[in-house]
Amino acid sequence: MTQLEWQQLEALVLHMTPEEKVRLLALVQATDAPAVDAEDPILGSIADMPELMDAIVEDAYFSRENHPLGLPPEE
């Protein structure tokens, strides 16, 4: 879905009646969309993006190796 299509969809949802929103929510919940882990909503929300998680972990390890314990760099 393109950015423009998302913006159009968001505009439509903003103008829906409460009944239409309930109907849309039921439709979305009935689809095969990956469920967010209720116990860990942050990690659950990126469960279908392993490349992003790998990049985050790689950056964390790089920072830890280059700045141990959050100490400033040696001069």
- List Cα–Cα distances, 37 to 30, 32, 64, in angstroms: 17, 15, 28
Q: Does residue 74 fall inside a structural domain?
A: no
Tokens 């949802």 belong to: 13
Token pair of 67 as six digits: 């700045």
Say if residue 39 is in the same domain as residue 61.
yes
- Domain hosting 15: range is 1-33
> Taking a C-beta distance cutoff of 8 angstroms, is the pair 44, 36 a contact?
yes
Mean pLDDT along residues 54-67 = 84
Tokens 């929103």 belong to: 21
Say if residue 27 is in the same domain as residue 42.
no
C-alpha angle with apex 30: 28 to 35, nearest 5 degrees?
75
User: Does pTM surpass 0.75?
Assistant: no
Say if residue 29 is in the same domain as residue 1.
yes
pLDDT of 70: 64
Q: Does residue 49 fall inside a structural domain?
A: yes
**Model confidence band, residue 31 (pLDDT cutoffs 50, 70, 90):** confident
More confidently predicted of 75 and 2: 2
Q: Does residue 17 fall inside a structural domain?
A: yes
Q: Does residue 73 fall inside a structural domain?
A: no
pLDDT of 33: 59
Tokens 């968001």 belong to: 10
Say if residue 12 is in the same domain as residue 39.
no
